[in-house]
Amino acid sequence: MTPNETRFRVRYAETDQMGVVYYSNYLVWMEIGRVEWCKQQGCSYREMEGEDGILLAVAECQCRYLAPARFDDEIVVKTWVEQANPRLVTFAYDLQLAASNRKLASGFTRHLILDREFRRTRLPKKYFPMFGLGS
């Protein structure tokens, strides 16, 4: 699938005493990319959760840090579905500096499909095209 690009600037509050982005913020940025990816596909987390009772629960995540980001850097998060089936979706991410395309980090998040009672369930068929699944 074609990656979605999300852009934003590093806020001062996201940096640590050394003046670089604190490591946990990269996971937050992946979430921003994932939510925007869904919007680009014509859907929202709110719709999946509220209307369909579907929750995408993070079961695993990984982030490999390659270079630091600093206050006011413009960041690009590229997000795409790496793998999907009706019970599990894996999103992949590349994070880079907008000005130079220098890669800052890469990673993935793996999500279980749950219902409102936090039981494993299947993705409704209406979402199959969004995640690249056949009917």
Provide the pLDDT confidence category of residue 2 given band limits of 50, 70 and 90: confident
Rounded to the nearest integer, the mean pLDDT of the chain is 96
Could you give the percent of the chain with pLDDT greater than 70?
Answer: 99
| Number of Cβ atoms within 10 Å of the Cβ of 76 | 19
pLDDT (tens digit, 9 = 90+) per residue, 96-107? 999 999 999 999
Q: At what angle do helices 45-52 and 25-40 cross, to 10 degrees?
A: 70
What's the CATH superfamily of 4-127? Hotdog Thioesterase (3.10.129.10)
- Catalytic center residues: 16
Task: Please tell me the predicted confidence (pLDDT) of residue 122.
Answer: 96
pLDDT (tens digit, 9 = 90+) per residue, 18-40? 899 999 999 999 999 999 999 99
Mean pLDDT of 76-91: 97
Calculate the CA 94 to chain-centre distance.
10
Predicted TM-score of the model (pTM)? 0.94
Q: How far is CA 3 from CA 37, 74, 76, 93, 134, in A?
A: 8, 18, 11, 9, 19
Q: Is 45 helix (H, G, I), strand (E, B) or coil?
A: helix
Report whether 50 contacts 119 (CB < 8 A). Answer: no
Phi, psi of 110 (to 5 degrees): -110, 130
Task: Please tell me the predicted confidence (pLDDT) of residue 134.
Answer: 82
Task: Please tell me the predicted confidence (pLDDT) of residue 135.
Answer: 67
Q: How far is CA 25 from CA 20, 53, 118, in A?
A: 11, 28, 26
pLDDT higher than 80, residue 77 = yes
